[in-house]
Structure 1
Amino acid sequence: MRVHYSDIEAAATRLAAVIDNTPLDRSQTYSLLSHNKIYLKLENMQRTGSFKIRGAYNKLALLSEQERSRGVIAASAGNHAQGVAYAARELGIPCTIVMPKTASLSKVEATRRYGAAIVLHGQNYDDAYAKAKQLQEATGLTFVHAFDDPDVIAGQGTIGLELLRQNPNLDAIVVPVGGGGLISGIAIAAKTIKPQIKIYGVEASGAACFRRSLDTGDITTLEAVSTIADGIAVKRPGNLTWDAVKNLVDDVFVVDDEGIARTMVMLMERSKVVSEGASASALAAVLTGHLPFTEKEVAVVISGGNVDMMLLSRIIEHGLVAAGRHARFVTTLPDRPGSLANLVAAVADVGANIVSIEHHRLSQSLVLGQVEVDLAVETRNEEHIEELRQRFLSLGYSFQMK
């Protein structure tokens, strides 16, 4: 290992006046749902809104005067960008960040406000990374890797120190995985302090490069990545992080975007926590039964909360549908007084709430004397949707669910 426990301890000292010791919050809700004692490590409350400031500041603080004077460059989908930009501003270092064109507008603007020069390039992190390396070679700037760097990994590992100081009884830590810097640092720190502790990683199914690499036995590059969790949308593990994960991480789970969206909604509703997709992935794995045990003390790293509000709105809507909290029915009714009132009464009978209703007389699919009604309703869960569906069937309504 190129990163040692002593490096993480030194990083903790270096970062003491820069970062916040974020809360480790016991959750009764998730404990009951998972049959374990669940604690949320709330790095969404960290400065810059994610854990990335830890590794970025540690890296920049260790640069030589010559490297500082030349300036730094990094590639990022957003959180590493903000961490590097913030650290560079605090340390007086010129900073350039290459971000994908698909990066969240809020993350781009936040990075710019920290004083970085922004270059938008490509459709994902890997495209931005290739461009940043090209610019680095042309300009002589110091490259600050998002995850495959010993100083960055050591900075992220300070979370492992904090976790076991906050709760020495932890049996396991569950961590979102993109390039692997966060889980590598946490695993090195936690397994040095407590060798028997379990470390689990979680990837999005549309960007599961570590799971694929573990299955094949060597580093594997994905052809493409596609996930709402942009912070962990990485095609290839790092070389350093691959070594750490295959040697120290007990397993890597995979969750789909449906589970991630549902968990983001649950975090907001139950815990009042705004989480981006990447950080919700770890809790999604816990809530979908991936842990191979019960009745253990488990920390789940909520790695960041920097989510674009427009994206968040769409994810909330999608998550509500996935969780059975929202449903849409399209049906035809006789075009006569009272027909619509009867349909509305059926919704009220089962305790559902109408969000919107559209009433159309003009459609090529309608026969004379019929109207089409498009009905969106709020429901409690899938069972409630089924109750409403059965109520409609019992009243003779023919409908489509959208």
Structure 2
Amino acid sequence: MSLSLADILAAARTIRDLAVRTPLVPSPHLARLAGHDFLVKLENTQPIGAFKLRGAANAILNLPADVGGVTCCSTGNHGRGVAYAARARGMKAVICMSALVPQAKIDGIRALGAEVRIVGRSQDDALAESRRIAEEDGLVEISPFDDPLVIAGQGTIGLELMQDRPDLDMVLVPLSGGGLAAGVALAVKTIQPSVRVIGVSMDRGAAMDASIRAGRPVEVEEVASLADSLGGGIGLDNRLSFPLCRDLLDDVVLVTEDEIYRALQTLFYEDRMVAEGACVVGIAALQAGKLPVPKGPIATIITGRNVDMTVFHRIMAGQDVSLGDLTLKGQAYGA
């Protein structure tokens, strides 16, 4: 199964009435750090507060009219996208999630009328339940990342980036199961092969990074993270997102929880934006000096705003934050 720019262009036409074309805005503070224009793509302005609406909408709007309902596993935002798109089509939606998913994301999905099932303590547990429901109840499973229509939908972000700033030198993409990174890289590299596309993830439980290094999909231990949206495996039977990320990404960079903590503060205090930890991994990589030397403008994707506000408030106040067995020592911004 192959994907092309034509699939992404088709997705853009399909989702245009459900997902919005999001702004690409400059960050003067980050530009000073980078030495070049630094732009942020505001997917947190989507109706569900996250980019996942694009892929979910493309998959669900392409389903036959006689489909009775859909199911998926999710760390939060994909489930919200599936619930939103299913409601728009009048379909039943069952979202399977692990106990690691923040309550704010669970509540947001239920508010859209979907049924939520909490299963196990990993994305793999939630995936197994979603597949069981699909088989036993006759629902269509919508993969969060390993589906051609989902990848094409996410790829519309890359299309918009190149339309708005064809002079980009580097695109920083939060990396989890790889649907976003695969779609964005496919669009960007097809339009302008010289643009460097860098996947960025947390340094604990980064499944796609471990899989690329191993040369095949592998399992990782899922742990609590400020970048909770990047948690979970990529599936040992991964057909699409793994080979696309392996072949198209120029590099993968990992950042620590402390670096994510500081990047959340930077985005809020310098650009006045509320975002999830997963959104700021590109900013964290820039601040930590982990990126290749830029030769021109850089863009990163602010993937969502559906953050646990209790944790967010603690970070903005420079307080300690507990992540399972890890405690992040607080630090006031600029101290």
Q: TM-score, length-normalised on structure 2?
A: 0.92
- CA drift at 1:308: 1.5
Q: SS in structure 1 opposite 2:240?
A: helix
Unaligned runs of 5+ in 2: 322-327
Q: SS in structure 1 opposite 2:273?
A: coil
Where in structure 2 are the equivalents of 1:133-148 lying within 5 Å? 133-148=131-146
- CA drift at 1:201: 0.2
Where in structure 2 are the equivalents of 1:173-188 lying within 5 Å? 173-188=171-186
**Partner residue in 2 for 1:325:** 332
Q: SS in structure 1 opposite 2:267?
A: helix
**Partner residue in 2 for 1:22:** 22
CA distance in 1, matches of 2:168, 2:34: 16
**Partner residue in 1 for 2:149:** 151
- CA drift at 1:108: 1.1
- CA drift at 1:23: 1.0
**Partner residue in 2 for 1:118:** 116
**Partner residue in 2 for 1:249:** 249
Q: Note closer, same or farther for the CA distance 1:307–1:74 as it changes in structure 2 (3 Å cut).
A: same
Q: SS in structure 2 opposite 1:102?
A: coil
CA distance in 2, matches of 1:31, 1:323: 26
**Partner residue in 2 for 1:356:** none
- The aligned amino acid for 2:203 is S
Q: SS in structure 1 opposite 2:22?
A: coil
- CA drift at 1:2: 2.0
Deviation digits for residues 296-352 of structure 1, max 9, x if unmatched? 2111111111101122223333489867428xxxxxxxxxxxxxxxxxxxxxxxxxx
- Which of 140, 162, 165 in structure 2 is aligned with 1:164? 162
**Partner residue in 2 for 1:5:** 5
Q: Note closer, same or farther for the CA distance 1:156–1:319 as it changes in structure 2 (3 Å cut).
A: farther
CA distance in 2, matches of 1:319, 1:310: 12
2:109 aligned with 1:102: no
> Does structure 2 retain, via aligned residues, the 8 Å contact 1:34–1:289?
no
Q: SS in structure 2 opposite 1:175?
A: strand
CA distance in 2, matches of 1:155, 1:208: 23
> Does structure 2 retain, via aligned residues, the 8 Å contact 1:37–1:295?
no
> Does structure 1 retain, via aligned residues, the 8 Å contact 2:24–2:39?
yes
CA distance in 2, matches of 1:319, 1:50: 27
Deviation digits for residues 185-217 of structure 1, max 9, x if unmatched? 001111111111110000111122222222222
CA distance in 2, matches of 1:8, 1:176: 19
Q: SS in structure 2 opposite 1:153?
A: helix
Deviation digits for residues 42-101 of structure 1, max 9, x if unmatched? 1111120000000000000111123x2x21011111100110000001111111111222
> Does structure 1 retain, via aligned residues, the 8 Å contact 2:208–2:233?
no
> Does structure 1 retain, via aligned residues, the 8 Å contact 2:212–2:246?
yes
Where in structure 2 are the equivalents of 1:138-287 lying within 5 Å? 138-236=136-234, 238-287=238-287
- CA drift at 1:139: 1.0
Could you tell which deviates more after superposition, 236-245 or 294-303?
236-245
> Does structure 2 retain, via aligned residues, the 8 Å contact 1:26–1:39?
yes
Q: SS in structure 2 opposite 1:109?
A: helix
CA distance in 1, matches of 2:229, 2:167: 29
> Does structure 1 retain, via aligned residues, the 8 Å contact 2:100–2:224?
no
CA distance in 2, matches of 1:226, 1:324: 20
Q: SS in structure 2 opposite 1:285?
A: helix
- Which of 63, 84, 87 in structure 1 is aligned with 2:85? 87
- The aligned amino acid for 2:221 is E
Could you tell which deviates more after superposition, 250-259 or 214-223?
214-223
Q: TM-score, length-normalised on structure 1?
A: 0.78
> Does structure 2 retain, via aligned residues, the 8 Å contact 1:282–1:302?
no
2:32 aligned with 1:32: yes
2:132 aligned with 1:128: no
CA distance in 2, matches of 1:75, 1:245: 21
> Does structure 2 retain, via aligned residues, the 8 Å contact 1:207–1:226?
no
Deviation digits for residues 96-141 of structure 1, max 9, x if unmatched? 1112223222211111111101111122322211111122221111
Larger radius of gyration: 1
Q: Note closer, same or farther for the CA distance 1:226–1:92 as it changes in structure 2 (3 Å cut).
A: same
CA distance in 2, matches of 1:311, 1:93: 34
**Partner residue in 2 for 1:294:** 294
RMSD across aligned positions (CA): 1.8
> Does structure 1 retain, via aligned residues, the 8 Å contact 2:225–2:257?
yes
**Partner residue in 2 for 1:304:** 304
> Does structure 2 retain, via aligned residues, the 8 Å contact 1:222–1:236?
no
CA distance in 2, matches of 1:52, 1:281: 17
CA distance in 2, matches of 1:315, 1:120: 27
Aligned length: 326
Unaligned runs of 5+ in 1: 327-379, 382-402
> Does structure 2 retain, via aligned residues, the 8 Å contact 1:282–1:300?
yes
